[in-house]
Amino acid sequence: MIEGKNFIGATYSKKGDSFLQASNPKTNKLLPEKFYITTSQEIEQAFKKAGSAFDQYKNLSGAKKADFLEAIAEEILNLGDELIQRAVAESGLPEGRFQGERGRTVNQIKMFAGLLRDGSWVDARIDRAQPDREPLPKADIRNMLFPLGPVVVFGASNFPLAFSTAGGDTASALAAGCPVIVKSHESHPGTNELVSRAILKAAERTGMPDGVFSSLNGKADVGEKLVKHPSAKAVGFTGSFAAGTAIFKNAAARDEPIPVYAEMGSVNPVFLLDEKLSSGAESIAETYAGSVTLGKGQFCTNPGLLIGIESDNLNTFAKNLGEKLAEYTPDCMLNEGVAKNYRAQRKEILSQDGVEVITSPADEPGLTGAASLAAVKASVFLENDELQEEVFGPFTIVVKCKDSSEMEKVAKKLNGQLTITFMGTEKELIAHAPLINIGREKAGRVIFNNAPTGVEVCPSMQHGGPFPATTDSKFTSVGTGAIRRFARPIAFQDCPEELLPDELKDSNPLGIYRLVDGEFEN
Amino acid sequence: MIEGKNFIGATYSKKGDSFLQASNPKTNKLLPEKFYITTSQEIEQAFKKAGSAFDQYKNLSGAKKADFLEAIAEEILNLGDELIQRAVAESGLPEGRFQGERGRTVNQIKMFAGLLRDGSWVDARIDRAQPDREPLPKADIRNMLFPLGPVVVFGASNFPLAFSTAGGDTASALAAGCPVIVKSHESHPGTNELVSRAILKAAERTGMPDGVFSSLNGKADVGEKLVKHPSAKAVGFTGSFAAGTAIFKNAAARDEPIPVYAEMGSVNPVFLLDEKLSSGAESIAETYAGSVTLGKGQFCTNPGLLIGIESDNLNTFAKNLGEKLAEYTPDCMLNEGVAKNYRAQRKEILSQDGVEVITSPADEPGLTGAASLAAVKASVFLENDELQEEVFGPFTIVVKCKDSSEMEKVAKKLNGQLTITFMGTEKELIAHAPLINIGREKAGRVIFNNAPTGVEVCPSMQHGGPFPATTDSKFTSVGTGAIRRFARPIAFQDCPEELLPDELKDSNPLGIYRLVDGEFEN
């Protein structure tokens, strides 16, 4: 049974009087459970517990932390169908989607457990002493990554499992050795409660300190208090540009500024080269119709700009894409705000001078969002910054360039992106190396001959990109690299062996990769 | 001959009417050369050139960039005694110091050249395709670090060579593949001009694109314009808390926020344990008298807090230290501002309730700063935040604790630091593991049984630390790790072999370390 209380570590708490309720976007009706909004006192308690937990948790071995993560994965699976049904009710997304998303969530938690068992992620570096060096002796210096401290994680509406309570931010922060305080997303507080219980059960089972995880309900002002709390040391966020930049500014204005890893979405431009189109405009249109509407257009990697050179092939592609998008049955979006914003943002774009509507928005009953396609000349696009603002939903724009040179101008004009895609035959991709070179500067991931949707969870993934895609292009929120967001190097100079962490001891008891006197060893 | 013009890439430029002049702090008299303050138009030109240069420079091989760096090192040495004499005249620091600092500067440039020739710094990660994977095929993804773009570097008054024009920020940014625009320090514009010429000569010799390096004179408003320029992608700074946080706030408030690596100094607390003191309070006092006055107290790692438990040993230490500091002959500080601030900040601290003066400030003619020692009870220290503000100069405070528990309270109360030091016998260090554990959270480098001054340039060095020591504790400004500040990962998905950078090609033509399908290979 869902209780609607907050979790201050292992303790249920309900100090507030006001509450929020989730809605079912299918029916646009409130779900019955009340979730009590966190009070300032409860926030204080959560940070107090997180601080104490940090003192112990940071010193646990990688293996112990891996036990905890693996237990979380198990306990999430143990929630069984209750979790799936609640996530469906709170998001309007289909059951199959959550079976997939749960698998991804569990796998990425296990991936971090594997990273901890391997142990090499700490980037250990050892430069041994040279007492006889002239003119000055060289000290023994050893360096590795250590956790930053308590991390605030915001749940994301579009991934109630994989980017929320036990999503990539939480998993990577816990793996780094940081306690986590989750601000649950208002759209899926019930899903959050179930997952939070799984995490706390895992914490109890594996003997983790109380306070290693807390989960708090509330609106934007609760989030703001969490970000401004002096004990918060970093923030993970996935969501809108407006919310992400507000968090970033609050964090930068603190007495002690803290890092904010906000992934704020992207229009994921796609460059369609002509020879490739000529070999199969229709099948590419089919791929892209699927990618534009995947997750009902509510992924951060849905393609929102399709850029090609004016030609019969491009026209065929646009026509086919338009027809396929017209066949898409409008379905409910994540919540009322998302549906309203989608319609308003799309309307705004469609009302711009020079924008041609290819697939008109169909009837959109309730909170549904119809797939829509527009087209614009590159010359118009180049003069109107609004045309590259993200429309969160199943909407995309074909940008028609006169020639390669105009295509390069469009590439130069692009804002920072999570992804940029090039569809071309091998020969024409090589001929377009300068275009790809420009595009590379704009994105975190450069994709060839596939749609940008679909983010593999692996060590080489980069899910991030230049602002405004994220607030810190140097880090990824997906893949093993995500752990580095929550850790900093500390060097030990002439430290007695007994006081060194195992990772830095002479004997390398964990058998990890280390850079010793400039050479990799393990 | 020093010309006082700005360097817009390889072009000398003098568009402005106003100028600045350096002073010789020994005489407090102006040096004759006029350095023309950069105009907005010149700033625009420098960024335009930097942008064009970036397009070429970023795609040069590591070996080519290493040639450039090594040529810089050579050309700096070729400046010979002219450089040393100018640096002496502009800083008041002795000749021997600059012979040493030049060696360090040249060596760290060569270290980055070596890092580029090795090539593994790009952190290449490859996850190969699995076309038959169920339920979905796995794409080929390859990831490595790429440069951010033009970097603004501020010269630092206290290291006219090693942290200025061709210092660690410039060397690491150029190594990463970023063009650099230096804002010269007002105290040593002549030194800056000579070093800038060496860099530009090296750029010409090795065929680097025009704009890979520019050097501009001006005051704080020129720096502000550089930080706010849309083409700037990152900032490196070493200097005061006030200037560093102003830059940080300007960078965070931009339409596109950019990272600022500001190293803003530190009081570098030292914990003196009793058994260690009992074995040689006098020799430790001698070591610390040297460390407090090293560089006339103008290093970022001079120890400003010496924390021990009240005892005869601590009293002997304080007495000895006071005597040795009283023997120090006041010498000129870096410039008038530094000398005035030193005296004012010291006066402010000495006027606080409960602060006992051990070595009174001696006569301080001209711009000299005398070494001074104060003492305070920990109970007073714990109640007065001002007592841990940095006094930039040869000044330090002994903090007397009642017992170990109060010592831990002092450790908990400390702000973020570059370094924290523990002086203790091996036995008592192990017994004080909880204290060291607290201290570790406060600093970037934890030192045992040595003074904090002296920063080894090597892969394991961490010269950085939690705010307010720096604005980003995840990075170091000294050592090979410094390069990571100026690079971000980009992933390539299913990229044709011919378009991949050499670092990511199947055959690994550069023979670098790579993480391939989760295993290190080279």
Tens digits of residue pLDDT in A223-250:
999 999 999 999 999 999 999 999 999 9
Q: Is residue B421 classed as helix, strand or coil in its secondary structure? A: strand
Q: Reply yes or no on whether B263 is catalytic.
A: yes
* CA dihedral for A16, A249, B491, B460, sign (positive or negative): negative
Burial class (CB in 10 A: 0-12, 13-18, 19+), A255: exposed
The CA distance from B405 to B331, in Å, is 39
B302: left (phi over 0), alpha (psi -120 to 50) or beta: beta
* Mean of pLDDT values over A15-27: 97
Contacts of B428 (CB under 8 A, 6+ apart): B273, B274, B275, B276
DSSP state of A362: -
In Å, how far is B109's CA from the nearest CA of chain A?
A: 16
Burial class (CB in 10 A: 0-12, 13-18, 19+), B135: exposed
User: Least CB-CB distance to B491: which of A120, A461, A484?
Assistant: A461
User: A520–B522: do the CB atoms touch at under 8 Å?
Assistant: yes
pTM, 2 dp? 0.97
In Å, how far is B31's CA from the nearest CA of chain A?
A: 34
The CA distance from B253 to B440, in Å, is 32
Write out chain A residues lying below 8 Å of B476, CB-based. Answer: 489
CA contacts within 13 A on the Cβ side of B190 = 21
User: B448–A515: do the CB atoms touch at under 8 Å?
Assistant: no
In Å, how far is B469's CA from the nearest CA of chain A?
A: 11
Closest by alpha carbon to B193, among B82, B43, B295?
B82
CA A384 vs. chain centroid, Å, equals: 28
Q: Is the pLDDT of residue A139 over 90?
A: yes
Closest by alpha carbon to B69, among B208, B234, B266?
B208
Write out chain B residues lying below 8 Å of A520, CB-based. Answer: 120, 513, 520, 522
The pLDDT of residue B363 is 84
Active-site residue identified among B263, B390, B406, B408: B263
Q: Dihedral angle at the C-alpha atoms of A434, A440, A441, A445, nearest 10 degrees?
A: 170
User: Least CB-CB distance to B489: which of A476, A487, A520?
Assistant: A476
Residue B193 has phi, psi (to 5 degrees) of -65, -45
Cβ-based contacts under 8 A for chains A and B: 201
DSSP state of B212: S
Before A131, cis peptide (omega within 30)? no
Contacts of A266 (CB under 8 A, 6+ apart): A300, A301, A304, A390, A416, A417, A418, A419, A443, A465, A469
User: B492–A520: do the CB atoms touch at under 8 Å?
Assistant: no
User: B496–A136: do the CB atoms touch at under 8 Å?
Assistant: no
User: Least CB-CB distance to A462: which of B437, B466, B490?
Assistant: B490
Q: Is the pLDDT of residue A14 over 90?
A: yes
Residue A521: strand pairing partners: A514
Contacts of A1 (CB under 8 A, 6+ apart): none
Write out chain A residues lying below 8 Å of B496, CB-based. Answer: 426, 429-430, 448
- For A343-391, the pLDDT digits (tens) are 999 999 999 999 999 997 768 999 999 999 999 999 999 999 999 999 9
- For B177-221, the pLDDT digits (tens) are 999 999 999 999 999 999 999 999 999 999 999 999 999 999 999
Q: Is the pLDDT of residue A25 over 90?
A: yes
User: Least CB-CB distance to B493: which of A149, A445, A492?
Assistant: A445
Burial class (CB in 10 A: 0-12, 13-18, 19+), A403: exposed
| Residue B404 near residue B309, CB atoms below 8 Å | yes
Instruction: Give percent of chain A above pLDDT 90.
Output: 97
The pLDDT of residue B60 is 97
| Residue A7 near residue A184, CB atoms below 8 Å | no
The pLDDT of residue B265 is 82
In Å, how far is A125's CA from the nearest CA of chain B?
A: 5
* Mean of pLDDT values over A148-156: 98
- Averaged pLDDT in 10-residue chunks for chain B of 522 residues: 95 96 96 98 98 97 98 98 98 97 97 97 97 93 98 97 98 98 98 98 98 98 98 97 97 97 96 96 97 97 98 96 96 96 96 94 89 98 97 97 98 98 98 97 98 94 97 96 98 97 97 93 83
The pLDDT of residue A1 is 84
Closest by alpha carbon to A170, among A202, A122, A205?
A202
The CA distance from B93 to B81, in Å, is 15
User: A456–B143: do the CB atoms touch at under 8 Å?
Assistant: no
Contacts of B161 (CB under 8 A, 6+ apart): B76, B83, B87, B98, B101, B102, B104, B105, B167, B191, B195
**By CA distance, what is B490's nearest residue in A?**
A444
pLDDT band at A268; cut points 50, 70, 90: very high
Instruction: Identify residue A301 by its one-letter amino acid code.
Output: T
User: B459–A515: do the CB atoms touch at under 8 Å?
Assistant: yes
| Residue B399 near residue B307, CB atoms below 8 Å | yes
User: B125–A459: do the CB atoms touch at under 8 Å?
Assistant: yes
Write out chain A residues lying below 8 Å of B276, CB-based. Answer: none
Contacts of B461 (CB under 8 A, 6+ apart): A127, A141, A143, A491, B445, B455, B476, B478, B479, B481
**By CA distance, what is A474's nearest residue in B?**
B488
The pLDDT of residue A488 is 98
The pLDDT of residue A165 is 98
pLDDT band at A522; cut points 50, 70, 90: confident
Number of helices and strands in chain B (H, E): 16, 25
User: A490–B143: do the CB atoms touch at under 8 Å?
Assistant: no
The CA distance from B482 to B465, in Å, is 13
Residue carrying the six token digits 């899926």: A188
User: B257–A440: do the CB atoms touch at under 8 Å?
Assistant: no
In Å, how far is B433's CA from the nearest CA of chain A?
A: 7
Burial class (CB in 10 A: 0-12, 13-18, 19+), B255: exposed
* CA dihedral for A230, A233, A239, A242, sign (positive or negative): positive
User: A490–B443: do the CB atoms touch at under 8 Å?
Assistant: yes
pLDDT band at A520; cut points 50, 70, 90: confident
The CA distance from B212 to B8, in Å, is 10
Closest by alpha carbon to A413, among A433, A424, A423, A399?
A399
Structure tokens at B291: 């460390």
Instruction: Identify residue A460 by its one-letter amino acid code.
Output: S
Q: What is the DSSP string of A81-107?
A: HHHHHHHHHHH---HHHHHHHHHHHHH
Contacts of A194 (CB under 8 A, 6+ apart): A2, A79, A82, A83, A86
User: Which residues of A are the active-site residues?
Assistant: 263, 300
User: Least CB-CB distance to A494: which of B447, B461, B518?
Assistant: B447
The pLDDT of residue A338 is 97
Write out chain B residues lying below 8 Å of A143, CB-based. Answer: 459-462, 481
- For A399-430, the pLDDT digits (tens) are 999 999 999 999 999 999 999 999 999 999 99
Closest by alpha carbon to B184, among B81, B302, B86?
B86
The pLDDT of residue A120 is 95
The CA distance from B463 to B484, in Å, is 13
Pairing of strands B213-216, B180-183: parallel
